[in-house]
Structures are given as structure tokens and as C-alpha cells.
Amino acid sequence: MLARRRHVYFAMMGTCIGLFVLAWGVVRLWSIPVAVGMCVVAMVIPPVAAMVANRRGPDDRWWDDPSGDPKSDEWWDELDGKKRRQ
């Protein structure tokens, strides 16, 4: 899942950069309003890409879920203040 989200993120960011480059390198020669519209669309893509990349998948471990390793879980509980050191 992480690899898929990463690929989608980079595809969206590549599209964003491509829209900016095409808008001001090519499209502005024919139509400034269309170039500005392309930039507005490109402006919306990065926040959406960040949400897609940081979305929690159904199989992803959340930050406070136990990992299954008792020693590691005990260490993290101690750091988080959930358990006092004896």
C-alpha cells in the first residue's frame, strides 16, 4: 500500500510541475486565461497529493498500536509515560 501511495503522490506532483511548465512555457503564447486556469488547477494538486500520501491504509500500523514485540512495546510504553519504570 505504501508503494502505491508513493507512486500516486509522485504522479500527482509530476502532473503539477508539468501543468506549470506547460502553462507558462507553451499555453501562454496562445491564451493567458487558459494558462492561469492551468496554474490554478496545479495549485490545488499538492495539498491533495499530501492527503493521498499520508492516508492510513487498512493494513497500516497506527502509531499507538502494539507491534507484537513485547520488548519494543514495553520500551515505547515507558517513553510515552503509559508505564512507570520499576
Task: Tell me if 67 is assigned to some domain.
Answer: no
Q: Look at residue 48 and tell me if it is in a domain.
A: yes
The answer to the question of residue 52 being in a domain is yes
The mean-pLDDT minimum among 9-13, 51-55, 60-64, 75-79 falls in 60-64
Tell me how far CA of residue 7 lies from CA of 2, 11, 29, 65, in angstroms: 9, 6, 32, 26
Q: For the residues 59-68, what does the mean pLDDT come to?
A: 66
- Answer whether residue 41 shows pLDDT above 70: yes
- The pLDDT > 70 percentage for the chain reads 83
Inter-CA distances, 20 with 10, 12, 63, 75, Å = 15, 13, 36, 48
Residue 23: how many other CB atoms lie within 10 Å: 21
d(Cα 28, Cα 65) in Å, to the nearest integer? 51
Average pLDDT, the chain: 85
**Residue 64 resides in a domain:** no
User: How many distinct structural domains can be found in the chain?
Assistant: 1
pLDDT score of 85: 57
Whether 8 is covered by a domain: the verdict is: yes
Residue 63 included in any domain: no
Is the per-residue pLDDT at 39 higher than 90?
yes
Is 81 part of any domain?
no
9 domain residue, yes or no: yes
Residue 30 domain boundaries: 2-57
pTM: 0.65
